[in-house]
Chains A and B, each alone.
Chain A
Amino acid sequence: MRHLLLRRLAAIPLTLLAISALVFLATEVLPGDVARQILGREASDATAAQLRDELGLDRPLPVRYADWLVSFFSGDWGTSYTLKVPVRELVFERLGASMLLAVFAFVLLVPVALLIGVLAGLYHDRPVDRILSVTGLALGATPEFVTGVVLMVVFAVSLRWFPVSAQADPGASLVNRLEHLVLPAVSLVLLCLGYVARHVRASTVASVRSPYVRAAELRGASRFSIVTRHVLRNSTVPATSALGVQAQFLLGGLVSVELLFNYPGIGALLLTAALDKDLPTLQAAALVLGFCYLLITLAVDVVYRLLDPRLRLGVAV
């Protein structure tokens, strides 16, 4: 386990370096001009050239990349070209917001997905299973901005139970902030639910048919005890990787939900920075998000090994 951790941690800087180089190159091929974005289309070519010069955009690509790399890793993340605010401040503010929403959605997702998956697995091929599975598939196939709009119109605009905007007023309490996050979190949970529940269902079905469950039944263990002590525990292991994938998605793949619920998260920041060619912001946001992805992947592997002794002990499965 320690070797795994050290090996994976050592690979993180190299991976981040590769990400930064790719993002830099990709930004170069994107059409558009950050100077025009800042000055508007009606600025003259001379004015735009003057700004490009001030931003150092006319320097050769390797020079700019090296310059940015040295500054970034020495702690100077620079200033956003377009918004003129410190990039580090901007990225961490947005990352914090995204993490709050992602964690909230994740906390809602895990118990519901486990419950539905186990229920469907226990009653597999029966009406309950079919209803739950089809509903999960249908919700998973419905874009989050569609479920989001429906949730907003029904629960915010019509019933007014929850706020439309996911953004609470500055200085709001955590409870108030979470209240604003209910609808976006639910729309994310509805999207991810089917995927995770399907994994749990599959492993539940396998568990139910396994010799150890049969043995427990023959020993006269109660159904509740079988489910909680044997089925649920074994079903959680395959669900871990599914939840890991969803955690990554929740953190960075929220752009449409962020836009719909007007939530200033890191996904929307990444999108805007890419469209505007705001390189310092784009690079920093991509690296921070990449770092989070790598950490989540590592965490999933560690949890997987902790839950499954066969992997931990190197036994073939």
Chain B
Amino acid sequence: MARKRKSKEVPEAELPMTPMIDVVFQLLIYFIFTIKPLDVLAHLDVFRPGPEQRTERLEVPPNLVRIGIFYDGFTVNDKPVAESQLESLIRRLAELDRKQTVLIMCSAASPHEFLVRVLNLCAKYQLTNLSVISVN
């Protein structure tokens, strides 16, 4: 009886796993050394008024704050401010009214980084009603 059972046993199918594991480890090592983590991106939303809207908005400024961006600095309501003061001014403006329109006026020569800096501060203090116009 025992002999009979032995003869009916199914031999196990063998698959050589070693080369596959080798390749998988090679790939793993490749990824560990080559993958560069990506930067986390942020999107800063602005409203870009059209030419007709732009004049309308400038004529009737209800509770409007103007931030000027120039190649060498910033202004708030036409008064020059140091970069260090800009954050405290924007914070105070946000404390008064978060819904107020902030008109950001960029000069042609100003670097884009300055605009992003202002937009970042507006995002920080939850000022959402932002319009960007360009001035010469």
Whether chains A and B associate is no
Chain A residues engaging chain B, CB cutoff 8 angstroms: none
